[in-house]
Amino acid sequence: MSNNTSSHNPTVAAYKRAVEILGMKPNIANALEMPDRELTVEVPFKMDNGEINSVVGYRVQHNNTRGPFKGGIRYHQHVDIEEVRSLATLMTWKTSLVNIPYGGGKGGIAINPLNYSKNELERISRRFFRSIDPIIGPNIDIPAPDVNTNAQIMSWFMDEYSQRHGYTPAIVTGKPIELGGSLGREEATGRGTAIITKEAAKKWNIYLDKAEVVIQGFGNVGSYAAKFLNDYGCKIIAVSDVSGGLYDPNGLDINSLFAYNKKHKTIDGYNQGKKITNDELLSLKCDFLIPAALGSAINSKNVHSVNCKVIIEAANGPVTGGAADKLWERKIAIIPDILTNAGGVTVSYFEWVQNLQQFKWTEEDVNNKLQDKMINAFEDVYSVKIDKKVPMRIASFMVAIDRVHQSYMLREG
């Protein structure tokens, strides 16, 4: 559950600071913070034993000034309206930052999916999508996968919507390739993370082929980031997952570890490197530390031991607001999540464009366009950072909020 109002929430704090520096009028700053619409629905469904059960679902549409609402739907027992609202807001800034024609939205169902059979999950998913049908559409609001939702669930969503409205692949992204998913989507967030790291290396005068990299989390984002950074010539000296970490000062064999992890779904048992804990991993001396696992990984308890030049936030919110302040004092740069992990939503946008065009792009097309978007966003942020002498997070919010503000004034003013 999120603490949406806390000044320790880096998103809330960054918003306040950014609107202050932008000199935005308080009434407009309040208007842009407020969600357009919040929907809470009861989702009744039949259990496998024939009993009727019911769970609660949400869709929050934060802002659609620059385009349709866009954001994932997560299934988690801790989902509540505050968390969904906070994540929907973040999507507005993220889509604006990479300059794609979307606003921000988010949804969720408060369930632990492990407690339900596949058939029950299908009935829950279809019923939820029917319940939010009045407020979604390919030009209105386009959901996507998030925590514990996947391409199969997107297929049920798309099928449910298409039965009512005719064949509409553009109603959701993150679909299987066979149903209109985009090539390159699986790797997109890790690829975007690697591209951003490469750009940061240029600005912070770090030679990529000499750079030492440490990555926490070896799931979708962390493992692909490791693979692409390894391709760029970086030395990945440590990685970890929930089972613990592996450290080799000479560099891990990432291609072989990647293959091992694909097969075993863990790095545990891989036969290279010294075993270390996640705490030890976060304190290793390196050029780039990439937290790609979970929120608040770097916090007031462990921030003093961080020993890198730049933190690349691949996960959402891996550095707490208090820890970020301490790192700023120590001149350790943070490239924020809103920029670093925007590769996923960017390729989701490409999927939607391909669906609307009914035309499939090559993987090379997708990757080149992703690279352009990520580099442009990085440059936009970096020039504000230099101009205003602010951290990259504040600069990111300034770029993103300014774009939404300008569109908002043109439409409402």
Q: H helices within 243-391, ranges in order?
A: 254-264, 278-282, 321-329, 337-340, 343-357, 363-388
CB closer to ligand NAD out of 327 and 347: 347
Near ligand NAD by CB under 6 A, which window of 106-114, 152-160, 214-222, 360-368?
214-222
Residues 246-305 that bind ligand NAD (CB under 6 A): 278, 292-294
Gyration radius from the chain CA atoms: 21
Give the HSE-up count for residue 28: Cα atoms under 13 Å, Cβ half-sphere.
17
Other CB atoms within a 10 A radius of the CB of residue 151 amount to 17
Taking alpha carbons only, the member of 248, 242, 244, 267 closest to residue 256 is 267
83, two tokens: 């968390």
- Site pattern 186..205 for ligand NAD (x: CB under 6 A): ---x----------------
346 belongs to the binding site for ligand NAD (CB under 6 A): no
- We find the least distance from the C-beta atom of residue 292 to ligand NAD, in angstroms, to be 5
- We find the least distance from the C-beta atom of residue 218 to ligand NAD, in angstroms, to be 4
Other CB atoms within a 10 A radius of the CB of residue 372 amount to 12
148 belongs to the binding site for ligand NAD (CB under 6 A): no
Task: Give the residue, chosen from 197, 230, 341, 354, that forms a contact with ligand NAD under the rule CB under 6 A.
Answer: 341
Taking alpha carbons only, the member of 113, 177, 164, 169 closest to residue 142 is 169
Task: Give the residue, chosen from 45, 218, 258, 352, that forms a contact with ligand NAD under the rule CB under 6 A.
Answer: 218
- We find the least distance from the C-beta atom of residue 76 to ligand NAD, in angstroms, to be 11
CA 407 to chain centre: 24
68 belongs to the binding site for ligand NAD (CB under 6 A): no
Near ligand NAD by CB under 6 A, which window of 61-69, 105-113, 237-245, 378-386?
237-245
Catalytic site includes residue 326: no
288: β partners:
213, 310
Strand ranges, E, within 261-328: 274-276, 285-291, 307-312
Catalytic residue among 70, 106, 235, 385: 106
Active site residues: 106
Residues that bind ligand NAD (CB under 6 A): 189, 216-222, 240-242, 278, 292-294, 314-316, 341, 344
